[in-house]
């Protein structure tokens, strides 16, 4: 199970669950049941969390790209899918979440 977890996280949640099940020699349903029993979440939910974590890393960077670019870079079909996952997993939209994070800044010319 640790191998499946690592693969999900290392792929930023982009590995297909069917492919992951095949790698460990189980059916998709068996993998999901074993994973949920040991981790407490389904592999699909862990994949969504891993993908969203990488998106948040970009959104909160000092110079974040546009949300549509973040969605594309992190494997979402479009920005609407990023927004849906964001709300489902955090309870807020990216626009509501990002302003609540401290924004890094540099004071130019200060001594």
- Residue pLDDT, tens place only, 76-85: 999 999 999 9
Among 47-51, 53-57, 86-90, 102-106, the range scoring the smallest mean pLDDT is: 102-106
Which residues make Cβ contacts (< 8 Å) with residue 26, sequence separation at least 6? 34
pLDDT score recorded for residue 100: 59
Band the pLDDT of 109: cuts 50, 70, 90.
very low
pLDDT score recorded for residue 111: 39
pLDDT score recorded for residue 2: 82
Average pLDDT rounded to a whole number, residues 10-31 = 91
Q: What is the set of domains in the chain, with CATH numbers?
A: 2-100 (1.10.10.60)
Tell me the pLDDT tens digit for each residue of 24-78.
899 999 999 999 999 999 999 999 999 999 998 888 888 889 989 999 999 999 9
The pTM assigned to this predicted structure is: 0.79
Band the pLDDT of 102: cuts 50, 70, 90.
low
Tally of CB atoms within 10 A around 37: 9
Which residues make Cβ contacts (< 8 Å) with residue 52, sequence separation at least 6? 13, 74, 85, 86, 89, 90
Of 84, 79, 80, residue with least CA distance to 69: 79
Token pair 């890393």 in the structure block, residue = 57
């Amino acid at each position: 199970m640790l191998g499946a977890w690592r693969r999900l996280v290392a792929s930023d949640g982009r590995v297909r669950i069917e492919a992951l099940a095949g790698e460990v020699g189980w059916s998709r349903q068996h993998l999901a049941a074993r994973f949920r029993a040991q981790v407490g979440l389904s592999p699909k939910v862990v994949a969504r969390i891993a993908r969203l974590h990488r998106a948040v890393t970009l959104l909160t960077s000092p110079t974040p790209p546009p949300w549509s670019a973040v969605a594309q870079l992190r494997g979402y079909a479009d920005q609407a899918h990023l927004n849906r996952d964001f709300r489902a997993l955090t309870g807020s939209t990216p626009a509501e979440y990002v302003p609540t994070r401290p924004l890094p800044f540099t004071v130019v010319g200060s001594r």
